Structure 1
């Protein structure tokens, strides 16, 4: 007996695969539409996080999920603040590369380990997953929440202290606000 693939015609794809592919395309098109709207995206993410926090406080449960989400968001934030190529890993002598301080030095822009869009996307997706987890009682593990708050604050302080020391040691600032802007001499002359 002959199979469909032996007939030489186009191979028919499973309807489930077609539907999944179409949903993936629609989802990606919406993500592409959101890409240029940075402020709107972050307002959406903050509203999601506030909704999650309100859900936790009003239900007085699921503290372990809140702790896990906080740790995950802290990990994302640290990845957002660090450069893609860590200067501490580039040199064994302890003297790492530094950003240029004079005009004749090489300029290397700050490239993040975790880009802003992926940071927003991960924060939003993880918050939605955490909100979904609060719908199920078996995730509501009884814990003494002040201990979790203490652990999180301690972990946050230690991690941020280490990150700030790293930023000072290798002289980089992960934000562009307030940085001096250099202009090309030719551009200023053409404008006159």
Structure 2
């Protein structure tokens, strides 16, 4: 009797310990959440590693865009998806070319604005949409549009030259307004050809060209 009672007690203790182990492991939902969190961290780590490789990133995006164009060309459809993709890319381009703070708001609030003369304080151009987010959004948009081409529900029959004409008109009007805004507030969203303030002295050839002639 004592041996049987001891066996029952050991079985009960083992079952309770196993139950505690299962409870400590958590529910399946917690396991899925932990797995998704690990995958997202790994994905973010890979994105962070691609940040300095600007040329390679844009070449990869160009390849993705080429695959999408070939897909639409061979399928001969999904023009509405392409039109929506073009509108989205145009909005991203405007955000990439626009300053983070609109100068018109500064004019209304009498705050600091962009420099308009050479004697003004130097202020670097800060984009409303940074280059990395601009690239990432474009790449993700092309990938989503490519996946949508495999579902016939998105293949709405439409006369594609009309959509192309609408997009071209919208592109011209939007870029014209953006260029007028850039000219009005005297800012350039690109750093190519700008003077760099790196603290280095000019070379001897540069100093000789800057000297006034007799």
Report if the CA contact (8 A) 1:100-1:106 is conserved: no
**SS of aligned partner of 1:92:** helix
User: For residues 1-192 of structure 1, what are the structure 2 equivalents within 5 Å?
Assistant: 12=26, 14-92=30-108, 97-103=113-119, 105-182=120-197, 184=199, 187-188=200-201
**SS of aligned partner of 2:108:** coil
How many residue pairs end up in the alignment? 178
Structure 2: distance between partners of 1:87 and 1:177: 22
Report if the CA contact (8 A) 1:100-1:107 is conserved: no
Q: How far is the alpha carbon of 1:92 from its aligned partner?
A: 3.0
Structure 2: distance between partners of 1:10 and 1:179: 60
Q: Which runs of 5+ in 2 are unaligned?
A: 1-22, 205-214
Flag as ranges the 4+ runs of structure 1 deviating above 4 A: none
Q: Which runs of 5+ in 1 are unaligned?
A: 1-8
Q: How far is the alpha carbon of 1:67 from its aligned partner?
A: 0.4
Q: What's the Cα RMSD here?
A: 2.3
Structure 1: distance between partners of 2:115 and 2:188: 10
Task: Return the TM-score normalized by structure 1.
Answer: 0.86
Structure 2: distance between partners of 1:97 and 1:26: 40
Structure 1 pair 100/91, CA: closer, same or farther in 2 (3 Å)? closer
Q: Rg: which structure is higher?
A: 2
CA offsets per residue over residues 7-66 of structure 1, 9 Å max, x none? xx9784611111101110111111011111000000011111111111111110000000
Which structure features the higher share of helix residues? 2
Structure 1 pair 188/20, CA: closer, same or farther in 2 (3 Å)? same
Structure 2: distance between partners of 1:80 and 1:19: 34
